[in-house]
Amino acid sequence: MKLKDTGLTKEQLIAKANKYLIDTAARFDFIEERAKGVYVYDTDGKEYLDFFAGIAVNNAGNCNEKVVTAIKEQLDDCMHTSVYPYTIPQALLAEKVCESIGMDKIFFQNSGAEANEAMIKMARKYGVEKYGPHKYEIITAKMSFHGRTMGSMAATGQPHNACQIGFGDMTPGFKYAEFNNLDSFKEAISENTIAIMVEPVQGEGGVYPGTDEFIKGLRALCDEKGLLLLLDEVQTGFGRTGKLMGYMNYEVKPDIVSMAKALGGGMPIGAICAKAEVAKAFTPGSHGCTFSGNPVVCAGAMAQVDEIIDNKLPENAAKMGEYFMKKLATLPKIKEVRGKGLLVGAEFEEGVSAGDIKHECMERGLLVTACGKNIIRMVPPLIITEEDCDKAYDILKASVEALCK
Ligand X SMILES: Cc1ncc(COP(=O)(O)O)c(C=O)c1O
- Please give the residue ranges that form the binding site for ligand X (CB under 6 A): 55, 111-113, 116, 145-147, 199, 203-204, 232, 234-235, 260
**Residue number, 228 or 352, with CB nearest to ligand X:** 228
Whether the Cβ atoms of residue 223 and residue 293 lie closer than 8 Å to each other: no
Dist. CA 82–CA 84, nearest whole Å: 6
Q: How far apart are CA 389 and CA 191, in angstroms?
A: 49
- Please report how many Cα atoms fall inside a 13 Å half-sphere around the Cα of residue 66, on the Cβ side: 15
CA gap 55, 367 in Å, rounded: 10
Smallest gap, in angstroms, from Cβ of residue 155 to ligand X?
A: 9
How far CA 166 is from CA of 147, 159, 383, 385, in Å, comes to 16, 10, 40, 44
As measured in angstroms, the least distance from the Cβ of 207 to ligand X is: 11
Q: Which helix (H) or strand (E) holds 337?
A: strand 334-340
* CB nearer to ligand X: pick between 231 and 337: 231
- Between β-strands 137-141 and 174-177, what pairing exists: parallel, antiparallel or unpaired? parallel
Closer CB to ligand X, 125 or 146, in the complex: 146
Q: Tell the smallest beta-carbon distance from residue 57 to ligand X (Å).
A: 9
Report the nearest approach of ligand X to the CB of residue 340 (Å): 13
Task: With H, G, I as helix, E, B as strand and everything else as coil, classify residue 130.
Answer: helix
Residues pairing with 209 in the sheet: 201
Q: How far is the CB of 191 from ligand X (least distance, A)?
A: 28
Of residues 108 and 145, the one with the C-beta less far from ligand X? 145
What's the min distance (Å) between Cβ of 236 and ligand X? 7
Distance in angstroms (rounded) separating the CA atoms of residues 120 and 155: 9
Taking Cα atoms as reference points, which of 146, 174, 182 lies closest to residue 161?
146
Compare residues 94 and 113 and give the one whose CB is closer to ligand X: 113
C-alpha neighbours within 13 Å on the C-beta side of residue 149: 14
Residue nearer to ligand X on the CB measure, 137 or 204: 204
Per-residue CA distances from 119 to 103, 274, 305, 312, 383 (Å)? 14, 9, 22, 28, 30
Q: How far is the CB of 246 from ligand X (least distance, A)?
A: 10
Contact yes or no for 92/301 (Cβ under 8 A): no
**CB of 113 or CB of 395, closer to ligand X:** 113
> Rounded to the nearest whole angstrom, what is the least distance from the CB of residue 128 to ligand X in the complex?
24
Residue whose C-beta lies closest to ligand X? 112
- Of 14 and 248, nearer to ligand X (C-beta) is 248
Closest to 70 (Cα-Cα) out of 306, 299, 301? 299
